[in-house]
Amino acid sequence: MTNLSDHQLLDLYPKLSSDFFAVSADILAPKLLGKILVKLEAAGVLAGQITEVEAYTGFNDPADHGYRGRSQRNQSLFLEAGHLYVHRIHRYHCLDIVSDTEGFPGSVLIRSMEPFVGIETMQTRRGKSDLAALLTGPGKICQAFAIDTTFDGASICQSNSQIFLLDTPDIPDSKITRSPRIGISVAKDKLLRYYLSNSRFLSR
């Protein structure tokens, strides 16, 4: 699939609609594996296949940014499903997709992807050429795709959305592994990290 042109990729798969995202984060997370994240830019198309995610399940999850309620910083988490929540951890931006229903702060963090289209642009922005390390981490993805907080609260389900997901065939459960989430200090026992079992495009 890495040999597809941007036009072939966009013609091959339909965009995901808001209904797809309107489920709890722990249900949405494994369903996102294998889907293709696309960003349209003036210079062309960037795209990668999602290989690793983490679910954050709202008010019952102390690691969720909305656990203690709405604030100016996390208000995008409370939008309806299919919006972006872009936030900073230290000096890195991270990209979540909002799940559940409006007013409930569930989301799925995109942790790692396999690059498909626009690879040279991604390599330039990252200052790295190794494909296996190009998008293997939330901060790396945002750097390669030039995603920052200006995209916080953007919809990925409208006809004019600059960032959206393509609906590729579902990944069988037998090819998905669950584990605890990475780099959190609370709720560390929850098995809410999901990844493609045999992928080499995973965060470390």
Q: Quote the distance between the C-alpha of residue 147 and its chain's center.
A: 11
Q: DSSP labels for 115-183?
A: EEE-HHHHHHHHT---GGGTSBSHHHHHHHHT--GGGTT-BSSSTT-SEEEE-PPPPPGGGEEEEPPSS
Q: Which helix (H) or strand (E) holds 194?
A: strand 193-196
pTM score, whole prediction: 0.95
Confidence of residue 187 (pLDDT cuts 50, 70, 90): very high
Domain ranges of the chain: 6-168+189-194
pLDDT in tens, 141-171: 999 999 999 999 999 999 999 999 999 999 9
Distance between CA atoms of residues 74 and 113, nearest Å: 24
Q: Over 90: is that where the pLDDT of 34 sits?
A: yes
Burial code (b: 16+ CB inside 10 Å, e: under 16) for 80-115 equals bbbbbbbbeeeeebbbbbbbbeeebbbbbbbbbbbb
Q: List phi, psi (to 5°) of 125.
A: -65, -35
In the block, residue with structure tokens 């003036």: 42
pLDDT in tens, 101-134: 999 999 999 999 999 999 999 999 999 999 999 9
Q: Which helix (H) or strand (E) holds 21?
A: helix 18-21
Distance between CA atoms of residues 59 and 105, nearest Å: 7
CB half-sphere exposure, 45, CA atoms < 13 A:
18
Q: Quote the distance between the C-alpha of residue 160 and its chain's center.
A: 19
Distance between CA atoms of residues 48 and 37, nearest Å: 5
Average confidence (pLDDT) over 57-80: 97
pLDDT of residue 76: 98
pLDDT of residue 12: 86
Note the CATH architecture for domain 6-168+189-194. Answer: Roll (3.10)
pLDDT of residue 7: 65
pLDDT of residue 11: 82
User: In sequence order, what are the beta bridge partners of 170?
Assistant: none
Q: What is the four-CA torsion angle of 172, 177, 180, 182, rounded to 10 degrees?
A: -100
